[in-house]
Structure 1
Amino acid sequence: MSAALRVTIGQHSDKGRKAINQDFHGACVPATRQLDTKGIAIALADGISSSAVAHVASAAAVRSFLEDYYATAQAWTVKKAAQRVLMATNSWLHAQTRSSPYRYDRDRGYVCTLSALVLKGCRAHLFHVGDSRIYRLRGQELEQLTQDHRVYVTREQSYLGRALGLDAHLDIDYLSLALEVGDVFLLATDGVYEYLDAATLIAALATGEDLDALAQQLVTAAFRRGSPDNLTLQLVRIEALPAQDAEAVRQQIAEWPLPPLLDTGRDFDGYRILRELHASARSHVYLAEDRDSGARLVLKIPPPSLRDDAAHLERLLLEEWIARRIDNPHVLKAAAQPRPHHFLYVTFEYLEGQSLRQWLLDHPRPPLETVRGIVEQIAKGLRAFHRLEMLHQDLRPDNVIIDAHGTVKIIDFGAVRVAGLLETAAPLAGEAILGTEQYTAPEYFLGENGSLRSDLYSLGVITYEMLSGRLPYGTAVPGARTPAAQRRLRYRSVLDEQREIPAWLDATLRKAVQPNPQLRYADVAEFVHDLRRPNAEFLRATRPALIERHPAAFWKGVSALLAVLIVLLLVGGHLRG
């Protein structure tokens, strides 16, 4: 394996026996940075023959895919990024048809098929709608990877069941495959694949080195065999794959020497160290001043004990990468980089303020409204992570800062899980649980992957602690490492005689910290909403007795009932007499 993904691409298209070519195709091999984060994109579209404007649709589909895909967030998975682009393209094409003379005849509108391939890291991601096709040749085996979305009325008569622009809603086929060096992918329209058999394709690919010439040769062969349609063929051969092992990461990290431990007053890489802010087994953190601008910032270096730990060094560099991609007032920002680094370290903005942990020590019984305000700010920061398919995984009072202006910010990204980066290569070995146990969701202790609901659990525990000064399950969660043990966990109500907390709010917290993630809120926004406004379901469940809600009405009713009973007794006694 090499340090980077490398491919050879060949492609050719011809109008064939048609008056115009309604096919469109393209490929993009980006520069190194986007090659790592977004990969290589190849796309092919075939306009439907019944439409005079289908060539516009196929050109728009391919161009928008190749351009817009690279404009999506780097932290997104390939699947999310590509599907968002394709759904937007579908909406645009469908709107064009609806505003055209063909709005009542969709088979004459802006409609096309599309087959797209994204190669990222050591995996291929396929996206498909319509009846163009993607094949893979591995060794001597040619495999069709896509299914035709064509509905047959009779053997001779058929129509497209799915295509871009056909309907307002779009169903996209998706497939992810592991790559091997030597794999060849073929993207073809029906004008090619219906007139070339597997034996012809396998034989041609076994001898061809020039893929452009080979694509043209195969298109010509399909034409000579009687293809009446447009003809387009793309060939992609995997020449090299990026290394995935820890040694490759160590080599990349070794490009920067490790910094020494820093003393107050020392000049280091253009900064002056003002004082040490924090030292632990995971990092050493300093307050520093840029010698040129005078700006203050936080400088973070690895501790001596972990300087041979490639996984830890990778996470340290990833912290700054994450901070530069989240732009939210409630998330710590990376510091400006006025010059290149000469050592391995990361820098962040400096915040004047205190941690939520210290704030809780100073305010052991905060008002409910103050708690809500802090939690709502944390939730806004947390949702910024979630929108980029990131999980914080270590949300706790020590990782929340309240600055001098009262703004709440999430800090420390050492445990953040970035879905888009996990596609690039196999993760390095590291701690099974990166977060702090008391605030870590129970599913992590079962060896399961986290989800948005896992971060929500941590936020629920923080909220519970702010209102009660304790944890909802005490210290029992880290020890509950089987489903049965987690079912035995017992939630301790936040209600007590010392604080006036509504019963429905306790039900809100109970749902947020359920051991079973499927029983929690699905989104942080739902939890924050219920924290401020009573959920009707909880009101019914926690509805107090009539004597508590309307004591006067209760006693009037009791008095009336007693009066009736007395009258009945008197009447009964009179009758017996």
Structure 2
Amino acid sequence: MPKTNQLQVDIASHSIQGLKDNNEDAVGFLVPEELTVLEGKGIVLAVADGVSSAEGGKEASHTAITRFFSDYYQTPETWSVKHAGQKILSSINLTLFKRSHEFTSEEKGYLTTFTALVLKSRIAHFFHAGDSRAYLFRGGELKQLTRDHVASIGSGRSFLARAMGMDNSIQIDYSQFTLEADDIILVSSDGIHDFLSFETIAKIMSAEQSCQARIETLVQSALDNGSDDNISGSICQITSLPNESLNDYNSKLTRLPFPPPLDKGITLDGYKVLEELFASSRSQLYLVEDIDTGEQMVMKTPSINFEEDTGYIDRFIQEEWIGKRINSDYVVNIIKQQRPRTCLYYLMEYVHGVSLDKWMQKNHFPKPKIAIAIVEQIAMGLSDFHKMETIHQDLKPANIIVNDELKLKIVDFGSVFVAGLAEVFIPLEHEGVLGTATYSDPKYLLGKNTGIQGDLYALATITYEIFTGKLPYGDKIEECQTAFEYDRLRYISATVANPIIPIWFDRTLARGVSFDLEQRYDNIPEFIQDLKKPNPTYLLDDPKVTKNKSQVLFWQLLSGFWILMLILVVALFTQG
């Protein structure tokens, strides 16, 4: 292969179930076709070995591989390989851990080892947990890059001490080394390296043949040598390296300037500004047009007020990654960059329509069918966040766009919290204005991460407002700053503002916005179900029903009394 100024490899993977009934291993590689992605993200090869005693071992290994490959290439260019890999693996680990706890037995669940290498420019980065392995063959010598996370319990017995999904947090081994031409890298499950000697692995890796032939030989040799496990691996040989190392994208792009305020007609990186859509102290939104394609999109830029705030910059960069991870019909799409950026910003699809708060101003007391359809779409958008272990935290009508066909999309990621990432939980600043802290869970505003229940509170508050035009605790909630001030508030029945609302619907709303987490719904589907269909428990002790029954009984007794008096009068008259 001719030498070029880019990373080129010969790479192959192979996996068989061997003597086992099922193959619980997962192995693979990804070589980006686009040069910009290859330079910015590199090449990935990985192997995961699902723990055989775990009921979900196969699903765990495949989840780890597919999620890592998918999420890694969605991370911002400004993140270092180490930063991106550790964040992603922490998130995947938490997903597997939660699935593991769906089982009652401690020996069942979603557990897998994981070993991956990212080859970017002239640097190899590896991530590792468990007893799968990575090897480097260079200059006639074989070196094991990883260490096995196993613990000995005597008599030659040992157990796996670390694996993905084993705990709610995980320590990932990370290291890096400089690549050299003709380096050969192997990642393998224990079905290979537990049954082949160091010398045999080195001999096969150094053979003058393709990587596909090498990995197939390794797998077959392990099987011939008595391997009773699944047998999997991926092998990669460096055939060409860039002339010089690329600068790390994180340090490179983070040093880029914030764009200045953009006036109409200005062109930035091939995008022409058509108009300013929104501006605040924290960010700006511009409607722009791609000069090459004519496509209209929205450009979000950071505020120059935070040029020296590294925490703000990291959060801004993370917004783009979060948006890329969430594939939903009810969440705005992030547009992939086609040209290098000279400033910090990112691009989103342009969603036609108006914000939900403006829609509500023009549509007081909408038909229940229309209102419920809107609420259901918001709920589905939130559910797509939650599927990715992501909490929105700042859902409000201003962050929801409704079009003429009453289709909507959530359009903001500024306060999103991703479970499993090593970040400090930071609640919103309570700005005391309608549309910001007004819709957020008071527990969250006071510093408690209420997760899905926090998003549900916001959804229930918005639902209440759609049906009544009011807020469930009145306008005074905008002024609350302390737990004591919140405790003084009382829920205002939705029937006060809209008398046609049935009692079961009002009680659903009341439970959705309850300050008491034990009283509040803990999942969105149950809340939506109770909105659409009366919950029988909410009909018990209905004061309206009780009042009606008492009135009926009163009139029945009164009527009986008068009938009795009439009979007595008639009898006396007859006798007379």
Which residue number corresponds to residue 286 of structure 2?
286
Which residue number corresponds to residue 418 of structure 2?
418
For the 8 Å contact 1:332–1:349, the answer to whether it is kept is yes
1:45/1:298 CA distance change after superposition, 3 Å: closer
CA RMSD of aligned residues (A): 5.5
Deviation at 1:547, TM superposition (A): 5.6
User: Any residues of structure 2 matched to 1:393-432 within 5 Å, and which?
Assistant: 393-420=393-420, 422=421, 426-427=422-423
1:144/1:256 CA distance change after superposition, 3 Å: farther
3-state SS in 1 of match to 2:325: coil
For the 8 Å contact 2:94–2:168, the answer to whether it is kept is no
User: Any residues of structure 2 matched to 1:324-339 within 5 Å, and which?
Assistant: 324-335=324-335, 337-339=337-339
For the 8 Å contact 1:302–1:316, the answer to whether it is kept is yes
Deviation at 1:283, TM superposition (A): 0.8
1:30/1:338 CA distance change after superposition, 3 Å: closer
1:523/1:289 CA distance change after superposition, 3 Å: same
1:569/1:390 CA distance change after superposition, 3 Å: farther
Which residue number corresponds to residue 216 of structure 1?
none
Which residue number corresponds to residue 442 of structure 1?
442
For the 8 Å contact 2:131–2:148, the answer to whether it is kept is no
Which residue number corresponds to residue 375 of structure 1?
375
Deviations 1:214-264 (A, max 9, x none): xxxxxxxxxxxxxx9979999xxxxxxxxxxxxx99725425443222111
1:324/1:494 CA distance change after superposition, 3 Å: same
Which residue number corresponds to residue 83 of structure 2?
none
Which residue number corresponds to residue 321 of structure 1?
321
Deviation at 1:430, TM superposition (A): 6.3
1:566/1:134 CA distance change after superposition, 3 Å: farther
1:112/1:229 CA distance change after superposition, 3 Å: farther
3-state SS in 2 of match to 1:518: coil
Which residue number corresponds to residue 78 of structure 1?
92
Deviation at 1:437, TM superposition (A): 1.4
Which residue number corresponds to residue 480 of structure 2?
479
The one-letter code sitting in structure 2 at the alignment partner of 1:266 is I
Deviations 1:41-64 (A, max 9, x none): 55376799xxxxxxxx99x78975
The one-letter code sitting in structure 2 at the alignment partner of 1:531 is L
Deviation at 1:557, TM superposition (A): 2.5
Q: Counterparts of 1:430 and 1:65 in 2: how far apart (Å)?
A: 29
Q: Counterparts of 2:30 and 2:264 in 1: how far apart (Å)?
A: 44
Deviation at 1:471, TM superposition (A): 2.0
Which residue number corresponds to residue 523 of structure 2?
523
1:524/1:503 CA distance change after superposition, 3 Å: same
Q: Counterparts of 2:19 and 2:425 in 1: how far apart (Å)?
A: 55
Q: Counterparts of 1:536 and 1:253 in 2: how far apart (Å)?
A: 57
The one-letter code sitting in structure 1 at the alignment partner of 2:396 is R
User: Any residues of structure 2 matched to 1:341-352 within 5 Å, and which?
Assistant: 341-352=341-352
For the 8 Å contact 1:311–1:428, the answer to whether it is kept is no
3-state SS in 1 of match to 2:327: coil
User: Any residues of structure 2 matched to 1:209-248 within 5 Å, and which?
Assistant: none
Which residue number corresponds to residue 467 of structure 2?
467
Which residue number corresponds to residue 222 of structure 2?
none
1:116 aligns with 2:122: no
1:304/1:370 CA distance change after superposition, 3 Å: same
1:515/1:178 CA distance change after superposition, 3 Å: same
For the 8 Å contact 1:266–1:273, the answer to whether it is kept is yes
Which residue number corresponds to residue 220 of structure 1?
none
Deviation at 1:531, TM superposition (A): 1.4
1:453 aligns with 2:449: no
How many residue pairs get matched? 447
Which residue number corresponds to residue 108 of structure 1?
none
Deviation at 1:532, TM superposition (A): 2.0
The one-letter code sitting in structure 2 at the alignment partner of 1:557 is Q
Deviation at 1:458, TM superposition (A): 0.6
For the 8 Å contact 1:64–1:85, the answer to whether it is kept is no
Q: Counterparts of 1:282 and 1:38 in 2: how far apart (Å)?
A: 36
For the 8 Å contact 1:286–1:299, the answer to whether it is kept is yes
Deviations 1:278-327 (A, max 9, x none): 11101111111111221211111111111222222222233332333323
Which residue number corresponds to residue 360 of structure 2?
360
1:493 aligns with 2:493: yes
Which residue number corresponds to residue 222 of structure 1?
none
User: Any residues of structure 2 matched to 1:12-27 within 5 Å, and which?
Assistant: none
TM-score, normalised via structure 2 length: 0.62
For the 8 Å contact 2:100–2:109, the answer to whether it is kept is no
Which residue number corresponds to residue 557 of structure 2?
558
Q: Counterparts of 1:543 and 1:486 in 2: how far apart (Å)?
A: 27
State which of 41, 49, 62 in structure 2 corresponds to 1:43.
Answer: 49
Q: Counterparts of 1:211 and 1:305 in 2: how far apart (Å)?
A: 61
Deviations 1:2-45 (A, max 9, x none): xxxxxxxxxxxxxxxxx989999787787899999999655376
1:112/1:525 CA distance change after superposition, 3 Å: closer
Higher mean Cα deviation, 378-387 or 38-47? 38-47
Deviations 1:465-494 (A, max 9, x none): 223333222334773644x66555421222
Q: Counterparts of 1:347 and 1:80 in 2: how far apart (Å)?
A: 29
1:345/1:515 CA distance change after superposition, 3 Å: same
Which residue number corresponds to residue 237 of structure 2?
none
Which residue number corresponds to residue 160 of structure 1?
none
1:479/1:257 CA distance change after superposition, 3 Å: same
Which residue number corresponds to residue 512 of structure 1?
512
3-state SS in 1 of match to 2:281: coil
1:41/1:415 CA distance change after superposition, 3 Å: farther
Identity of aligned residues (%): 28
The one-letter code sitting in structure 1 at the alignment partner of 2:266 is R
Q: Counterparts of 1:296 and 1:389 in 2: how far apart (Å)?
A: 31
For the 8 Å contact 1:311–1:430, the answer to whether it is kept is no
3-state SS in 1 of match to 2:508: helix
The one-letter code sitting in structure 2 at the alignment partner of 1:116 is T
Deviation at 1:353, TM superposition (A): 1.5
Deviation at 1:69, TM superposition (A): 5.4
